[in-house]
Amino acid sequence: MRERVKRPPSSTMTESFWKPKTDSAVEHRFSHELWIHLVHVRMLEKQGIVSSSHCSDISAVIVELEDLGAGVLEIDGTVEDLYSYTERYLARRLGPDVGGRLHTGRSRNDLGATSGRMVLRETMLRLLSEFARLRHAVLDLAEDHRETVMPGYTHCQHAQPITMGYYFLAFADHLQRDWHRCMEALRHTNQSPLGAGALAGTSFPLDRVYCAENLAFDGLLETAYDAVSSRDDGQEATAALAVLMTAVSRLAVDLQSWSTQEFGFIELADEHSSVSSIMPQKKNPICLEHLRAEAARVTGCLTAALAVAKNTTFSEVIDGAAGVETPVREAAEITIRSLRLMTEVLERMSVFPERMAISAARGFGTATELADTMVRDFGLSFRTSHNIVAAVVGKAIGNGKRADQITVCDVIDAGQAVLGRRLDISEASLRQALNPVLNVARRDIIGGPAPHVVSECLRDRRKVLSDHRAMIDAMQTKIRESRAAVFARERAGGLG
């Protein structure tokens, strides 16, 4: 296999490049490449390019390899890659004339591009299955806590009352968009490069559509040059995972804040926490710190996936067309583990609604509703009302009062100071305006936190998630059944 190159790879070159490349291919690509070989050789037979007897002989050895495993290839560092070892095995079993016919009309370029996409397809489907579990856990929290009132925050300060369910509904919507990004990357991945050859196709009458269909691809990367030159599917997948993990990291930040004594909104399960070697009171939420670090690593993988292709020619080159595979695989494995861990954290943490309700009542998040009430009751402009309530809040804070301790007199005094006249707000109106539960209930427009609005949204989100799960299940079934059918056909005697 090194006809133009007379000497074998140096030991340094082998250890630095060929051995890691071959070891990775054996681990991740071997079964995919056997599938490709069977489909390709039967396509050669169907098209009359290679005789049926030769194709049957080759297919029998490939099925044998499926049964025996990659260990029989005797990988010793003397040839360059997995396919070279496979072809050497075929030549030893069948002779070089028959064994050498498998590669007719094909290059390692389109073979590698095809198996690489199959690996990424399988990985993304596995990731999406784990992702669906996280989305389900988030929707369950949104459902269970749609009436659990808590402070909403902007700039890490009390903003307006919301519910914990509303918070997790919002996060579920982010995850739903993340899912679409991952699915779009998967859709772009699931296109077949096979038949592209080295870069310009081949003069043999290949049936590329036959190969794509039997390998469970959705279609073709039609232009051969693009098919072997591009791995933007891996870059897109890594970008989608980096966005997803950034969201997971932001959730981890909130959960860690909520688990402090200052908040006391939640407590993580013991199995997700650590202790201090010196301070006996500590229960450290290290899983959340770990998830934040993992998100940073995925961002690093995205940088690597882009950087290996930057300033390379638009052609089949090791760094530009194949270098993305290591960072995208690392990003995917990190993300799969992280999604699994975050799902478990959410399912097992304890929630303390009473602490949330107290915080919502004592903070000044109800100030907006008080301003809205004065607009309705006194016909003021919102800006005037805003200034009056700001004076009320400022005086309350200065006097060490909580929001739920504001009185009618406080409002009257502020109105007199700002507007120059009395605003005789009723005790009932004031108490309703300062009630976090009523604040939430009144915000019942589309997208608001009112519990019945959240419930309606959740019904839609659960239906979408169910459809997404069915889509993934169908795709996994198609791939599994397509592969099984190809090997079953060979074991039954091939095309004839």
Q: Which of 124, 127, 115 is nearest to 192 (CA)?
A: 115
At 393, the pLDDT band (50, 70, 90 cuts) reads: very high
222 and 97 both lie in a single domain? no
Q: Are residues 240 and 216 in the same domain?
A: yes
Do 338 and 262 lie in one domain? The reply is yes
| Counted domains in the chain | 3
- Burial call 408-440: b when 16+ CB within 10 Å, e when fewer: eebbbbbbeebeeeebebeeebbebbbbbbbbb
The number of beta carbons lying within 10 Å of the beta carbon of residue 1 is 16
Let me know if residue 150 belongs to a domain.
no
**Which domain CATH number covers 423?**
1.10.40
Q: Average pLDDT, whole number, for the chain?
A: 95
Strands (E), 338-387: 350-351
Q: Are residues 98 and 124 in the same domain?
A: no
Higher pLDDT, 286 or 3: 286
What is the pLDDT, as a whole number, of residue 2?
56
- Same-domain status, 270 and 403: no
Percent of the chain past pLDDT 70, that is, above it, reads 99
Q: What's the one-letter identity of residue 460?
A: D
Kindly state whether residues 207 and 270 are assigned to the same domain.
Answer: yes
Position 249 in a domain:
yes
Residues 464 and 418 placed together within one structural domain of the fold: no
| pLDDT, average across residues 154-172 | 97
Which of the residue ranges 18-27, 191-200, 323-332 would you say has the lowest mean pLDDT?
Answer: 18-27
The verdict on 226 and 336 lying in the same domain is yes
Residue 329 lies in a domain: yes
Whether 340 is in a domain gets the answer yes
Confidence of residue 4 (pLDDT cuts 50, 70, 90): confident
Domain boundary (104, 136, 160) is at: 104
| pLDDT, average across residues 201-222 | 98
Query: Which of 104, 124, 153 corresponds to the end of one domain?
Result: 104
In a domain, 161, yes or no: no
Domain that holds residue 322: 109-145+170-354+458-481
The half-sphere exposure of 208 on its side-chain side, counting CA atoms within 13 A, is 24
H or E segment at 483?
A: helix 451-491
Structure-derived torsion over alpha carbons of residues 386, 389, 394, 396, reported in degrees to the nearest 10: -160
Average pLDDT over residues 283-301: 97
**Whether the predicted pLDDT of 82 surpasses 70:** yes
Residue 16 counted as domain residue: yes
Confidence label for 14 from pLDDT (cuts 50, 70 and 90)? confident
Q: pLDDT digits over 429-479, tens only?
A: 999 999 999 999 999 999 999 999 999 999 999 999 999 999 999 999 999
The pair of structure tokens assigned to 473 is 């299940």
Query: Which of these, 293, 294, 288, 290, lies nearest to 333 by C-alpha position?
Result: 294
Percent of the chain with pLDDT over 90: 90
Contact 148, 353 (CB under 8 A): yes
Q: Does 496 have pLDDT greater than 70?
A: no
Is 51 inside a domain boundary?
Answer: yes
Position 495 scores a pLDDT of 64
Model pLDDT, residue 78: 82
Same domain (yes/no): 64, 118: no
130 closest CA partner among 334, 340, 290, 291: 340
| Stretch 115-132: mean pLDDT | 98
The CATH number linked to 293 is 1.20.200.10
18: confidence class by pLDDT, cuts 50, 70, 90: confident
Structural domain contains residue 491: no
* DSSP per-residue letters across 203-252: SS---HHHHHHHTT-SEE--SHHHHHH--HHHHHHHHHHHHHHHHHHHHH
Comparing 15-19, 227-231, 413-417, the range with the smallest average pLDDT is: 15-19
H/E run at residue 192: strand 191-192
Distance CA 438, CA 432 (A): 7
Residue 324 vs residues 255, 318, 330, 397: alpha-carbon distances, Å: 33, 9, 10, 56
What CATH number did the domain enclosing 26 receive? 1.10.275.10
Q: Where are the beta strands (DSSP E) in 201-303?
A: 219-220, 266-267
Cα–Cα distances in Å, from 308 out to 19, 28, 114, 259, 327?
20, 21, 20, 40, 10
**Residues sharing a CB contact under 8 Å with residue 258, sequence separation 6 or more, in sequence order:** 265, 266
* Domain end position, chosen among 49, 72, 104: 104
Contact 170, 138 (CB under 8 A): no
DSSP 250: H
- Asked whether residue 64 falls in the same domain as residue 198, the answer is no
Q: 71 and 204 share a domain?
A: no
3-state DSSP call for residue 246?
helix
H or E stretch covering 161: strand 157-163
Query: What is the chain's length?
Result: 496
Is residue 254 packed enough to be buried (19+ CB in 10 Å), middle (13-18) or exposed (0-12)? middle
Statement: residue 13 has pLDDT above 90: no
> Per-residue pLDDT for 108 more than 90?
yes
Average pLDDT over residues 62-68: 96
> Quick one: 36 exposed, middle or buried, by C-beta within 10 A (0-12, 13-18, 19+)?
buried
79 and 192, same structural domain?
no
| Upper half-sphere CA count for residue 37 (Cβ side, 13 Å) | 30
